[in-house]
Every structure is written in C-alpha cells, then in structure tokens.
Amino acid sequence: MAHGETKVLAGLSYTKEHEWLKVDGDTVRLGVSDFAQDSMGDVVFVELPEVGDEFAEGDVICTIESVKAVSEVYAPFDCKIIAANEVLLDAPETINSDAFGEGWLVDVEGAVADAAVLSAKEYEEFIKEA
C-alpha cells in the first residue's frame, strides 16, 4: 500500500508495532504513530481497557477499528492501566487527526526497558524500510 508522507515526532520513544511512548515520571502515555493511523485509514471505533486492568508484555491492550480492518495495540512491557482516553469513544477520528496528541490511547504504570524501544531516529529508519 502506498502511504503519504507521515511524520515521526522527536522526543518520543517508539516500538516496532508502530506505537509511541512518552515517559513522564512513573507514568507512560501510549498511542499509535502517524504512520500507523495513516495505514489504518479512517478510524471508526476504539475499544479501550478499563482503569486498573493489568497486562503482560505482548498482550492486546486495545483494538482500533477502521471500516474494513482491525488493529491491535500490544503492551510494550508489563503494565497497569491508570487512565484511558475516553474522548476516543465518541470521537475515534481524533486518532487520525492528532495521533501524537489528543489521539493518545492510555496512560500506564510500568517499567520501560530501553532495549525494547526505538528512538525517533531509529523509528524513522524502521518505517522507511517497511
């Protein structure tokens, strides 16, 4: 599939599953990258976890539906949900319009292993190859 130009925001960490992470003290905010939202197309529904849910690395945290596809967001590390972005329940298109900002998915508690994530620069290289 041909993609338009997608941006990679500096200062965030990324995963090979096209998620971004923003560490703020003990809390990590999680979302999907601009590249991910672009390949999904128009997002129509987001299924969010409940606050307090716990996930092991690799578990499915949320699912994002576009008209004819479903994408799963995996836990990049063992974590516990402390907040979910309920704006997405009524306005799932926010993921398309602002993937790195208002379109965040969840805030979690957990320890990020540096080895498991990519820097913005590394991620940019990664999607070029994809």
Partner 1 sequence: MAKQGLYYDEPIIFEKSIPGRKAYSLPQNDCPAQDLSSLAPYRRKEAAGLPEISELEVVRHFTRISTKNFSVDAGFYPLGSCTMKYNPRLNEAVAKLDGFNGIHPYQPISTMQGSLELMFELAKDLAEITGMDEVTLQPAAGAHGELCGIKLIQAFHEKNGDTKRKKVIIPDSGHGTNPATAAVAGFEVYQIKSTPEGFVDLEELKNACDDTVAAIMLTNPNTLGMFEKDIVEIAKMVHDVGGLLYYDGANTNAIMGYVRPGDMGFDVVHLNLHKTFATPHGGGGPGAGPVGVKAFLKPFLPKPLICYNEKTASYYLEYDCPDSLGRMKTFCGNFAVLVRAYAYIRALGGKGLKNASELAVLNANYMKSCISEFLNAPQAGTCMHEFIVNPANLKDQGVHTSDIAKRIIDFGYHPPTIYFPLIVEEAMMFEPTETESKETMDDFIRVLAAIVDECRTNPEIVKTAPHNAPIDRIDDVKACRELNIRWEKTE
Partner 2 sequence: MNYLPATDQDIKEMLEKIGVSSTEELFKHVPSEVRLKRPLNIHAGLSEYEVLRKMTTLSKKNKTTSELVSFLGAGAYQHYQPLLVGQLISRSEFFTAYTPYQAEISQGTLQAIYEYQTCVCEIFGMDVANASVYDGSVALAEAINMATDKKHEVILTTALNPEYTKVVETYCHGYGVKVNIAKHKNGLSPVEVYEPLMSKNVGAIVVQYPNFFGNIDDIKALADFAHANGALLIVATSDVAAMGLLEAPGKLGADIVAAEGMSFVGPLQLSGPSLGMMATTNKLVRKLPGRIIGKTIDSSGNPAFVLTLQAREQHIRREKASSNICSNQGLNALAACITMVTLGKQGLQVMAERSAQKAHYCYQQLLTIPGIEPVFDAPFFDEFLIKLPKDVSYVNKCLLDEGILGGCCLDRFLGYYPELDNVALYCVTELRTKSEIDNLVNKLGVILRG
Regarding 70 and contact with partner 1 (CB under 8 A), the answer is no
Binding residues for partner 1 restricted to 15-54, rule: CB under 8 A: 42, 44-45
Residue found by looking up tokens 């994530």 in the block: 117
Contacts of 122 (CB under 8 A, 6+ apart): 14
Residues forming beta bridges with residue 20, ordered by sequence position: 14, 31
* Least distance (Å) between residue 43 CB and partner 1: 9
Q: How many CA atoms lie within 13 A of 56 on its CB side?
A: 0
Regarding 68 and contact with partner 1 (CB under 8 A), the answer is yes
Binding site residues, partner 2, CB under 8 A: 44-45, 47, 65-70
* Least distance (Å) between residue 69 CB and partner 2: 6
Residue found by looking up tokens 């926010």 in the block: 94
**Residue 70 binds what, of partner 2, partner 1, none (CB under 5 to 8 Å, by partner type)?**
partner 2
Regarding 93 and contact with partner 1 (CB under 8 A), the answer is yes
The distance between the two most distant Cα atoms of the chain, rounded to a whole number of Å, is 39
Structure tokens that stand for 58 in this block: 């690799």
Interacting residue ranges for partner 1, rule: CB under 8 A: 1-2, 42, 44-45, 65, 67-68, 92-93
